[in-house]
A and B are shown apart, each in its own frame.
Chain A
Amino acid sequence: MHQLLNTLYITTEGAYLHLDHDTLKVEVEKETKLQVPIHHLGGVVCFGNVMVSPFAMHRCAEDGRFMVLLDRNGRFKARVEGPVSGNVLLRKAQHEAMTNNQITISIAKNIVAGKIQNTRQVILRGARDTDDQQDVLTLKATAESLGGALSRLSNCEDLDQIRGVEGESARTYFGSFDKLVREDRESFKLNGRTRRPPLDRMNALISFIYALLMNDCVAAAEGVGLDPQMGFLHALRPGRAALALDLMEEFRSILADRLALTLVNRRQINKNCFIERPGGAIHLNDEGRKEVVIAYQKRKQEEILHPFLEQKMPIGLIPHVQARLLARTLRGDMEEYIPFLYR
């Protein structure tokens, strides 16, 4: 069984990461802060100004461990990669599927169905967890509207229609997202979804977790030999990991949004974990980022039943398994791609 290994996140700026025999060592101002055996790690993510020795990069690339460089806000900057590996036949099948309308539509449709199903579960769970009858009514109405989107989706015949249903259900969902917040609603009000840059705390929080999830989805796609840029639902654009974005759709609500809500509702993240820049952009501060990264790592270790494979596995492995299912679909082993459904 593929093992879920830890990801080493380095958030301290000015840290120096280097290889010491079979370990990775993190030094800050010449003082060793951490030393981990490299075989315990699935990969390394560096935020901001972190120095990495060439030999540490060589070793990670050689072993197929990912090394990603992000800016302080979790935005992707660079990835250290070894020789192209994996299966050229799979990549060829992926490219051919792109030009096959029927396959493209079935994959895109199934991905959006998975996304809406999971979003709906998050909404229903929120309805179960609150005592406020007004909120319950709003959330139930949202769930119903998402249910309607599912049946409309099944009749979609082209990508534009599918994207339309997807966009509309995302608006419905985020429209009642505030009802899922139970603590300090005033500070964590979501004023519509804003991304570049986030303009409120909740947007800043979920955007940051999406960035973490995105890196895991790119790694999952690459790990099974898929081209992360060649997507089905998301249009191709240079520099955009369209397939990783596709893969991510079914996980956004259950992995990222749920985590954001838990952090706020348990007061692990509060309004002091953010900084506001002149003009209104809002970002997590250092402590906030650290809290989120730790919680995200913990969440990935939690075990969950994969309903299709009927296997228990850590949540962090699910993007990898779904990437594998997609690869198997593209190679003609399965008639349909079955997304991960959260129950």
Chain B
Amino acid sequence: MDEATIPISALNQYTYCSRRCALIHVEQTFEENIYTMRGRDLHERTDTPEESGWEDGIRIERALPLWNNRLGLIGKADVVEFHGETPYPVEYKHGRLHKYENDDLQLCAQALCLEEMTGQPVPRGAIFHHSSRSRREVAFDHELHNLVEITIKAIRGMFSSKTIPPPVNDARCRNCSLQEACMPSAIAEQKRTRLLHENLFRVIDP
């Protein structure tokens, strides 16, 4: 991957777990589990540019390519509604209505792309939660903009140093599809590794 360019989805991954982000983009690991399959399935249905058009007087673009040259971001929006001239990004997520900071960051990064691409301010967007069929509106305030820029810097640093942060080894790991590649418990517990290593050369019979 071009080090200067960061995929928008990496912001979401990085905020969830920086190691997961590094495993995907630095180590090129990808494993599917039930959650990623659901997500992929959902996006396959939204990922059809041909279904763009007008709905209730609003122009709707699906699978719209996004970029921001200043920040070095690229990505794709599931849906962008045009309320008059103002773009309004909508990101589809499986699951029920819930506020996740990582989703908000991803959406805000999309907004920053749309601002540069169209020259229009993008003050708001929404996350569509597929299971509960509900929308949660997100306002892109100064704080969120800042957080996006800080996160991009951190990711860029990680990509260029090609480092893999240590595993978090907490509740996040339970539903993570990269558990097998990450080996969170084995790697987080170096003390145990040391003990096992010492015992490797000893005779210990039950």
Tell me the A residues contacting B by CB distance below 8 Å. 1-2, 85-87, 89-90, 110, 113-114, 117, 120, 124, 147, 150-151, 153-154, 224-225, 308-310, 321, 324-325, 328, 331-336, 338-339, 341, 343
Tell me which residues from 152 to 206 in chain B have a Cβ below 8 Å from any Cβ of chain A: 162, 164, 166, 179-181, 183, 185-187, 190, 193-194, 196-197, 200-203, 205-206
9-residue interface stretch from B7-15, B25-33, B131-139: B25-33
Partner of B201, one of A1, A124, A150: A150
Q: Which residues of B contact A333 (CB under 8 A)?
A: 164, 166, 183, 187
Tell me the B residues contacting A by CB distance below 8 Å. 26-29, 31, 33, 162, 164, 166, 179-181, 183, 185-187, 190, 193-194, 196-197, 200-203, 205-206
- Interface residues of B: mostly helix, strand, loop or mixed? loop
Q: Can you list 13 pairs linking A and B with CB atoms under 8 Å apart?
A: A2-B31, A113-B200, A120-B203, A151-B201, A224-B181, A225-B28, A309-B186, A325-B183, A328-B183, A332-B164, A334-B186, A334-B190, A334-B193
Which chain B residue lies CB-closest to A313? B180
**Given known contacts A124-B205, A308-B186, A335-B194, is B28 in contact with A86 (CB within 8 Å)?**
yes
Please give the distance in Å from B12's CB to the nearest CB on chain A. 22
Please give the distance in Å from A269's CB to the nearest CB on chain B. 30
Q: A2 CA to B179 CA in the complex, in Å?
A: 10
Q: Are B203 and A150 in contact (CB under 8 A)?
A: yes
Q: Are B197 and A147 in contact (CB under 8 A)?
A: no
Q: A85 CA to B30 CA in the complex, in Å?
A: 12
Q: A321 CA to B27 CA in the complex, in Å?
A: 17
Q: A34 CA to B201 CA in the complex, in Å?
A: 48
Please give the distance in Å from B165's CB to the nearest CB on chain A. 10
Partner of B180, one of A90, A124, A151, A324: A324
Q: Which residues of B contact A153 (CB under 8 A)?
A: 201
Q: Which 5 A-B pairs have the closest CB atoms?
A: A154-B201, A147-B203, A113-B200, A336-B197, A333-B187
